Chains A and B, each alone.
Chain A
Amino acid sequence: GAGVSQSPSNKVTEKGKDVELRCDPISGHTALYWYRQSLGQGLEFLIYFQGNSAPDKSGLPSDRFSAERTGGSVSTLTIQRTQQEDSAVYLCASSSGQSGNTIYFGEGSWLTVV
């Protein structure tokens, strides 16, 4: 597609429920990133994919968070047993892979846990 596409754009869920956030990167981009933006925490790196593998998962905050990427394209970020502190904007980004290349961000998925 023309840009990074994320869905849903907004999600309200009850505490304890699982949620899935989807990212469709720019066509041809081999690198895909998830970031989280929450009040007081700024923009935090969560995970990096190169193709379908995730060489850097160091930013995932707990084992309730997982992500996968299939076909070197679409990625899904899953949060299990959501907690109120998971409320944030989850941003997906993609680039052509090498360090220094421009990273393009999607519009984000706004998650609210009530």
Chain B
Amino acid sequence: AQKVTQAQTEISVVEKEDVTLDCVYETRDTTYYLFWYKQPPSGELVFLIRRNSFDEQNEISGRYSWNFQKSTSSFNFTITASQVVDSAVYFCALSEASGGYNKLIFGAGTRLAVHP
């Protein structure tokens, strides 16, 4: 069965601190996809990144970086020099290729509060 665990329910940091959001997944498929979405207070889910199971390269996009480690089934997300605008709920999600379509299984989300 597929499952995504985001153990951190809430994180509170002060602006300019670095923060890492953890994501651990379970799947029996060898081909799968991992996603991160941001949900700001306005409510929409904003796509951040997609990673397939064959690509373990870490990715950096500005202040955001992602660390994918198949050995530990983790896909962690780091925000460097956090800003107030980063305050949101962040969701990690998994999609298995065997289904043939994107049935996303979401983690419970991590609420990040960045204080000035």
Contacts and interface: CB of A to CB of B under 8 A. Distances in A.
Interface string B81-109: 00000000001010111011111111111
A107 B44 contact: yes
Interface string A85-102: 000010101010111111
Nearest to B107: A42
Interface stretch (A13-21, A43-51, A62-70, A76-84): A43-51
Looking at chain A's contact residues, the main secondary structure is: strand
Contacts, number: 67
A27 to B, nearest CB: 17
Contact of A107 (B42, B102, B106): B42
Interface residues of A, number: 27
Interface size class of B (residues with CB under 8 A): 20 to 34
Given A99-B33, A100-B33, A100-B50, A107 B43 contact: yes
A99 B102 contact: yes
Nearest to A96: B102
Nearest to B43: A108
Contact of B44 (A45, A98, A99, A106): A106
- Best-surrounded residue of B35, B46, B52, B104 (most CB of chain A within 10 A): B104
Contact of A100 (B44, B52, B106): B52
Interface of B: 33, 35, 37, 42-47, 50, 52, 91, 93, 95-97, 99-109
